Amino acid sequence: MKGDRKRLILLGVAVALCVMAVAAYVGISRSSGDSSDEHVVDAATLGPGADPIRTTRASSISSDELLFVSMIPDRTAGSLAVAPLSDPGGMRALSGLRCERVAYAGGRGICLIRTGGEEAESEVKIFDSKFDVKREFELEGLPSRARVSRDGQYGAITMFVPGEEDTSEPFSSETKIFDLQSGEEAVDLEKLRVTKDGRPFQTHDLHFSSVTFGPDNRHFYASLGSGTTGYLLEGGIGERTVKVIADHVDSPSVSPDGVRVAFRRVVGGEGNWRLFVLDVGTKKVRRLAGDQPIDDQAEWLDDERLAYAIDNKLWVVNADGSGKPEKLLSYAFSPAVSR
């Protein structure tokens, strides 16, 4: 987990530096006088042999689109971008929002970006389908995970926060569920009673590390702890109890049909994360293809495929364990699907 935190912090610093470097610019990079707002980023920016990337200005978010943080190495780096889910590599539309993590559903989105420089502080922006920010507030910590319920009412945000002075850990995770319409905290996960096999479960020194919402918008899964001590919990908005339903689980993501949960699990040494899928009904677990460590909360593109980020590239893999991971997009991070 320490290795994951170091990679996350280094990645966040890189994103933050890119965003700060372009703060003086207004709008999105485009050719002067070009009414189409289309722009081609070629090898001069991307390096020898790189495939050109076509961009345009984003005006709104439609259904069945892929949202992500665009990391093209120019003055647009860190822009929230959208692309057709049917052809994400064809044209990416860049918005004026700068994010490090993004989530979106039901006409509302969450954009997380650090604001405190060396301090562990971040800004949360709640935006609509036209990228208009409707509400914003600050949270302590560095952006880690974000999810939105499918009706757009609730949002789950996980931050890496400074560890307690009496511990050896420099950072720990803190997860909150907010009502995105009011901006108020809807669920204090730390106050929920946790059970396992019908008995109280000891959660001392364990922290919630991420949340994912089910199709009914009130039901959720959460991970508690991490690595070999991680647990998958099941609960609901308004309930006072959550129950452990699986062990060795981190960063869950529920499928669109609600019957499977993708998650990370350590295989071998520390930080050697791999993707798995759990069938909620049968509790059968299947490992997915791929041999690269994954420091991301995977996103379901549909009921058959998942996307995740590694080193500013998006990859797609089959949910049934077949095939091998294939590159979906370059210079992209934090995938989310508008449904």
pLDDT values of the chain reduced to their tens digit, one per residue, 339 residues? 445 544 544 445 444 444 444 443 333 333 333 446 899 999 999 999 999 999 999 999 999 999 999 999 999 999 999 999 999 999 999 999 999 999 999 999 999 999 977 678 999 999 999 999 999 999 999 999 999 999 999 999 999 998 765 555 667 889 999 999 999 999 989 889 999 999 999 877 789 999 999 999 999 999 999 777 899 999 999 999 999 999 999 999 999 999 999 999 999 877 899 999 999 999 999 999 999 999 999 999 999 999 999 999 999 999 999 999 999 999 999 999 998
d(C-alpha 137, C-alpha 285), whole Å: 39
Distance between CA atoms of residues 38 and 300, nearest Å? 29
- The four Cα atoms 68, 331, 145, 249 give a dihedral, to 10 degrees, of 110
Domain spans of the chain, in order of start: 2-338
Find out whether 332 and 81 touch, Cβ atoms under 8 Å: yes
CATH-assigned architecture of domain 2-338: 6 Propeller (2.120)
What pLDDT score does 172 carry? 85
Whole-number pLDDT of residue 86 = 94
- Please tell me the predicted confidence (pLDDT) of residue 277: 98
Per-residue model confidence (pLDDT) at position 170: 63
CA distance 187 to 235: 11
How buried is residue 190: exposed, middle or buried, by Cβ count under 10 Å (0-12/13-18/19+)?
Answer: exposed
pLDDT at 24: 35
Q: Which residue has the tokens 């822009």?
A: 79
